[in-house]
Structure 1
Amino acid sequence: MNAQFSLQGKAVIVTGGTGILGNSFIKGIAAAGGAIGILGRNEEVAQARATAITQTGGKAIALIADVMQESQLNAARDKMLDAFGRIDGLVNGAGGNMPEGVVPPGGDIFNLNMEGMRKVMDLNLYGTLMPTQVFGRTIAENGGSIVNISSVSSTSAITRVLGYSMGKSAIDSYTRWFALEMANRYGDKVRMNALVPGFFLTEQNRTLLTNPDGSFTSRGELIVQNTPFKRLGDPDELIGALVWLLSDASSFVTGTTINVDGGFLAFSGV
């Protein structure tokens, strides 16, 4: 049974690999035996994380690229193939929110920062489509798995984060649509699914959820109250579902979303 969940012999690219959630992703893949391409714009962090993995006997390389730049992604693909000879998986972890895509408290909803909304949507949607276009063909030809990162805000209206919510809703649609189209062309050789994280503290949402002293803001308190587990998630709690989706254990799973949210989406608030 354990062999089904192993990533031994598989090579996986993680975009957003220099972020907080990305760090848990790469640690989990390494622990499952996978070789990792840590893709991000921060070369210092990517290289440090790759070195940490190789020093403990794992396999990892830093891939410095912007997920919105096709030429940089092409170079990253070639470097990954030169290092490991294959690409079996892709985790589209790049994305997140930006201040420009957040509606301020009491803000005029008919005077939105449209450029900011577009910027956040592009990062989350096209920041997933572009890597899939570049890395996906190799994965499809050899067989493997693509995992997108959605959000609870894709299906449940979360106040203020309009741009982010629209981008993640698009990810859900894209996941279903592209999984179907790949199945029509490649059969069961390549799969696409999405993780739906609940609330985890990251650098992007830290100021929205916590005060400088570490206590919760009123928004953070509301989120915890509406999460049945009454806490935020730990990024490492995403590892189990991610490794399952990347591994052969989920070989008949495609076009679906997997909630890892402490029950947030199941809770009606009553």
Structure 2
Amino acid sequence: MRSWWSLIWPPVGAVLFFLVLWQGAVWLWDIEPYILPAPSSIGLEMVSGSPVLLNHTLATLRLTLIGFLIGTGTGIVISLALHLIPMLRKALYPLLILSQNVPTIALAPLLMIWFGFGMLPKIIVITLVCFFPVAVAALDGLARTDRTMLNYMKMTGAGTWQIFTKLELPHALPSIFSGLRIAATYSVMGAVIGEWIGADRGIGYYMMLQRAGYRTDRVFVAILIIVLLSLLMVALIALLEKRLIRWSRKS
């Protein structure tokens, strides 16, 4: 318990100190709420608007989870295909890198034109931001397999599939989860970007409405919810990593 508290109190203390400075600066210089609201005003607005915020948050969370699962699944499949087929890797890996040079915010309007304003273009946006870190991390993990163990398994007559399932994949799990943690944070922002372009609910939609009305306090509330959703996604991945890698090491 003491060890856990020693890890968490420094960042919590830093955040509280920053909030006190923020609150004091707003009071001292009498800053207009539409420019910079006080943390107390943001907290009160979050509590008073909780029923509406809950509906928007659940919509964004649902979209995030669906897009994250599809995006990470796509990234893992791509990495496995490129790893198992060297010629395919030589042909497609450079294109995989180039695909990340196109800004998602610029591509999103095209997706809305091509696929309408339903859920599909938003899921594509999240998939595009999620699959790359997972694919690259998985490829890197698979490439770092212990060469001594690899040569030993080949000498004992192990096939490609046996080597992959018994050695390469378990060895690559830490790298894969590193990519999953990055994708988890990207997935929330991908959902928000999709909602900016076209939606009738969600935190991104809520943020656009409040920005148009110069409700800066509500914009900060939306930002806080986005941060909390990102932390929740990362925590879920960390929990899954702890369970799965422990099982893998025992195996």
Query: Which has the higher Rg, Structure 1 or Structure 2?
Result: 2
Q: How does the TM-score come out when normalised to structure 1?
A: 0.23
Q: Which has the higher contact order (CA 8 A, sep 6+)?
A: 2
Relative to its length, the structure with more helix (as a share) is 2
- The structure where strand makes up a greater share of residues is 1
